[in-house]
Amino acid sequence: MKCGETFTGPNSPNKPTMWTENWTSFYQVYGGIPYIRSAQDIAFHVTLFIARNGSYVNYYMYHGGTNFGRTASAYVITGYYDQAPLDEYGLFRQPKWGHLKELHAAIKSCSTTLLQGVPRNFSLGQLQEVNTTSNRRIYIPRQNFSSVNDWEQFEDVIPNFDDTSLRSNSLLEHMNTTKDKSDYLWYTVRFEYNLSCNEPTLRVQSAAHVAHAFVNDTYTGAVHGNHDVKSFTLELPVTINQGTNNLSILSVMVGLPDSGAFLERRFAGLTIVELQCSEEESLNLSNSTWGYQVGLLGEQLEVYKNSSDIEWSELGNIINETHIWYKTSFDTPEGDDPVALDLSSMGKGEAWVNGQSIGRYWILFHDSKGNPSQSLYHVPRSFLNDNGNILVLMEEGGGNPLHISLDTVSITDFQDENFTKLSLPSFS
């Protein structure tokens, strides 16, 4: 970010001084807050670099974007470099865009002098003043989805050991098993239980990103890691029957590793699974015979493509529902403004519009200020029909689709005297 200060120059006097990756911001992860780099800081270091015989500056990124589908890397949110001079939606991010535009024009106008003249320093005066225009985003709800009758649902199936064909006498590595066909890998085991307590602690150590646990088809809970810690531990009290039981654990990846040495040696997935009555009494299941299923049933059936042979049902009880698919329809808002889904009422999962994945969402993962890292998800107009668009959500748990809204996104000038605060409709 500060190559004007830190770059000592190329390794030969015959080579140009080039800055190939000037970060206008930084990518954002779930649980993190946006990195705000000011327009003044960017401009100062570009100017300093050029003043020190720099001949080329490349920005990363100048235009933000969207990690559609499952293309985001580990823990990275769907919105990418939204703080760039042109944001995720292609709208001006002021004052960065205008400030840099004027800087580039000034540098271009002086290019002959800079490239051919003799460098010397001179004073510009004691005091300098700059007036920059800033703007804000305006989100206008165009449609809400609050009617129960507008939604349908499809319940995914929790596989048991007998449902699986892939078996192993050890805990398999997640990424090598799924081959990146899905974020999800089911680990399931059938075991005989004869410990003295009926409510042991289930202890699962994982090097993936999320783990959901089911005992005899009953959901017991979930735990997740974060971008900076490579493993986490799930510890939950569970009710176990004496005799035969089934344990199913859904391991989840939220993107693959993005960089670093020896990527082929990275390990993800479960590493330890055991039931503990006490430190002295436990049942280690790690080396039992495990069954595996890659992906969810809904993924295998491609329910997000609105297949005609899928049996959708009326919306049921949305409280504490886990691993359930929701479907509804909507019409495209008029105009040319970018479109976004406000998923702030959901939990964690993935969203599709007309069969196109607009990315993973993870609203329940809050940042240090107690807010979701991302709640608005870009829907390109190129994905949309004039009417009858199909929205499908795969919700892992904790989400309420009845409070979703479809918004249009625009920007307004802070200094626009005609700007008045919008009165947005409230939805029941």
Give the pLDDT of residue 413: 74
Q: How far apart are CA 246 and CA 240, in angstroms?
A: 9
Q: What is the pLDDT along the chain (428 residues), one digit of tens a residue?
A: 999 899 989 999 899 999 999 999 999 999 999 999 999 999 999 999 998 889 899 999 999 999 999 999 999 999 999 999 999 999 999 999 999 999 999 999 988 877 676 656 666 666 655 444 568 889 999 999 999 999 999 999 999 999 999 999 999 999 999 999 999 999 999 999 999 998 999 999 999 999 999 999 999 999 999 999 989 999 999 999 999 999 999 999 999 998 899 998 999 999 999 999 998 999 999 999 999 999 999 999 999 997 678 899 999 888 878 999 999 999 999 999 999 999 999 999 999 999 999 999 999 999 999 999 999 999 999 999 999 999 999 999 989 999 999 999 999 875 554 443 343 333 33
Q: How many Cα atoms sit within 13 Å of 283 on the Cβ side?
A: 22
Give the pLDDT of residue 422: 40
Q: Could you read off the pLDDT of 141-193 as tens digits, one per residue?
A: 999 999 999 999 999 999 999 999 999 999 999 999 999 999 999 999 999 99
Average confidence score pLDDT of the chain:
91
Q: Rounded to two decimals, what is the model's pTM?
A: 0.87
In the chain, the domains with their CATH numbers are 3-93+96-131 (no CATH), 139-156+299-413 (2.60.120.260), 168-295 (2.60.120.260)
Q: How far apart are CA 81 and CA 163, in angstroms?
A: 43
Q: Could you tell me which of 29, 40, 30, 86 has the C-alpha nearest to residue 62?
A: 86
3-state class (DSSP) for residue 283: strand
Give the pLDDT of residue 318: 85
Q: Could you read off the pLDDT of 323-352 as tens digits, one per residue?
A: 999 999 999 999 999 999 999 999 999 999
3-state class (DSSP) for residue 54: strand
CB of 141 closer than 8 Å to CB of 424: yes
Q: The tokens of 280 are what?
A: 């002295």
Q: How far apart are CA 28 and CA 78, in angstroms?
A: 9
Q: How far apart are CA 61 and CA 35, in angstroms?
A: 13
Give the pLDDT of residue 224: 97
